[in-house]
């Protein structure tokens, strides 16, 4: 990756991995820091499956964030691959930013993360997220517990949902970055292609609009994505892959109502991203047991 020239000798740049247990708020935090939605969110754990890069531009620094899937003791081919993605990010960064949900502790996943951190020789910052959901005495006890668990560079209580103390967190990371020019031009928010983000936006709506089992059995592929011309309608055909015929029926819904709702909500988000009107056509396809099939996992980018 080529550096972009910058004349300032005081400029800093580097890579930060956002790591945490499932549903800790990693994607919400990244979207807030960017001021744009590039990483999908839902209240269900394991929404994020891939490494997502987001670039935050500041007057004297450029911070390249890697949003990772939730780290946990994984079972099953898909979950093992998802956790491998998160672990691999730790080897490529200047700072590891650990995010913990103080309102719903996950001791097993958090212990797993600390053990993995002990093998990494790099700066680690701890962000205690969702402080708006706990009282001050609880928070002080959590800070004390984590301070004894690992030698973090700093511990910053935040609320990613409301933006509380996120600027302080950015300043803490900025101080630890190495000197150097930016890696990306100023108009770059992510290196992920629009096709990928569009597929993720569709998958997010499946997570948000269907029951517990369905989201984890779905993958989304973009079959066609028309080249955007100024003011032109962007045409997108996409397929939602499920593992069983019964799941296909649930995704489609009575009279196609569920699929229509998924499509309408996804289309609005995609329109904001591409800056023009979008025609989105969704198909649903049964691909039996794809989450256990190594070839299918590769084809879907996992």
Same domain, yes or no, for 123 and 215? no
What is the per-residue pLDDT for 2? 38
Q: Which of 132-141, 155-164, 231-240, 290-299 has the lowest mean pLDDT?
A: 290-299
What is the per-residue pLDDT for 40? 62
Residue 180 φ/ψ region, left for φ over 0, alpha for ψ in the -120 to 50 degree band, beta for the rest: left
The average pLDDT across 223-245 equals: 86
The verdict on residue 2 lying in a domain is no
Same domain, yes or no, for 136 and 230? no
Give the count of beta carbons closer than 10 Å to the beta carbon of residue 195: 14
pLDDT > 90: what percent of the chain? Answer: 49
Same domain, yes or no, for 165 and 26? yes
Residues with Cβ within 8 Å of 207's Cβ and at least 6 positions away in sequence, in order, are: 40, 42, 44, 47, 215
Same domain, yes or no, for 161 and 204? no
pLDDT band at 74 (very low <50, low <70, confident <90, very high): very low
pLDDT of 3 strictly over 60: no
DSSP string, 199-240: HHHHHHHHHHHS-SSGGGG-EEEEEEEPPP-TTPPEEEEEEE
Same domain, yes or no, for 92 and 164? yes
Kind and range of the H or E element at 169? helix 166-176
Give the count of beta carbons closer than 10 Å to the beta carbon of residue 38: 22
- 273 vs 74, which has greater pLDDT? 273
pLDDT of 189 strictly over 80: yes
| Average pLDDT across the chain, whole number | 84
Q: Are 71 and 90 in contact (CB under 8 A)?
A: no
CATH number where 80 lies = 3.40.50.300
Same domain, yes or no, for 124 and 31? yes
Same domain, yes or no, for 165 and 30? yes
The average pLDDT across 261-289 equals: 92
CATH number where 275 lies = 3.30.300.20
What is the per-residue pLDDT for 86? 56
Same domain, yes or no, for 199 and 129? no
pLDDT band at 237 (very low <50, low <70, confident <90, very high): very high
Angle between helices 257-274 and 245-252 (to 10 degrees): 70
Among 144, 176, 208, which residue terminates a domain? 176
> What's the predicted TM-score (pTM) here?
0.73
By residue range, what is the domain housing residue 35? 12-176
- 74 vs 216, which has greater pLDDT? 216
The verdict on residue 199 lying in a domain is yes
Among 147, 176, 205, which residue terminates a domain? 176
Same domain, yes or no, for 142 and 240? no
pLDDT of 157 strictly over 90: yes
The verdict on residue 4 lying in a domain is no
pLDDT of 215 strictly over 70: no
Same domain, yes or no, for 152 and 293? no
What is the per-residue pLDDT for 239? 95
Same domain, yes or no, for 165 and 267? no
């Amino acid at each position: 990756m080529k550096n972009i020239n910058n004349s300032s000798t005081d400029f800093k740049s580097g890579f930060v991995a956002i790591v945490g247990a499932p549903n800790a708020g990693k994607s919400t935090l990244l979207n807030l820091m960017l001021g744009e939605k590039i990483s999908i969110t839902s209240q269900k754990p394991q929404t994020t499956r891939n490494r997502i890069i987001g670039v935050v531009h500041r007057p004297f620094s450029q911070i390249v964030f890697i949003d990772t899937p939730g780290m946990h003791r994984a079972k099953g081919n898909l979950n093992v691959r998802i956790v491998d993605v998160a672990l691999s990010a730790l080897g490529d960064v200047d700072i590891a930013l650990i995010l913990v949900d103080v309102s719903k502790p996950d001791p097993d996943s958090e212990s797993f993360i600390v053990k993995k951190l002990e093998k990494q020789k790099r700066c680690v910052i701890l962000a205690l997220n969702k402080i708006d959901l706990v009282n001050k005495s609880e928070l002080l006890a959590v800070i004390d517990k984590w301070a004894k668990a690992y030698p973090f560079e700093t511990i910053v209580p935040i609320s990613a949902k409301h933006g509380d103390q996120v600027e302080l967190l950015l300043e803490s990371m900025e101080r630890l970055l190495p000197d150097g020019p930016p890696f990306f031009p100023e108009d770059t928010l992510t290196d992920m292609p629009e096709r990928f983000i569009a597929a993720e936006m569709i998958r997010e709506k499946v997570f948000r609009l269907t029951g517990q089992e369905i989201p984890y059995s779905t993958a989304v592929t973009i079959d066609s994505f028309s080249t955007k011309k100024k003011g032109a309608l962007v045409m997108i055909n996409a397929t939602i892959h499920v593992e069983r015929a019964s799941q296909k029926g649930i995704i489609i819904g009575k009279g196609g109502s569920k699929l229509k709702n998924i499509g309408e909500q996804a289309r609005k988000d995609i329109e904001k991203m591409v800056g023009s009107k979008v025609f989105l056509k969704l198909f649903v396809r049964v691909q039996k047991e794809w989450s256990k099939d190594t070839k299918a996992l590769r084809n879907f980018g996992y």
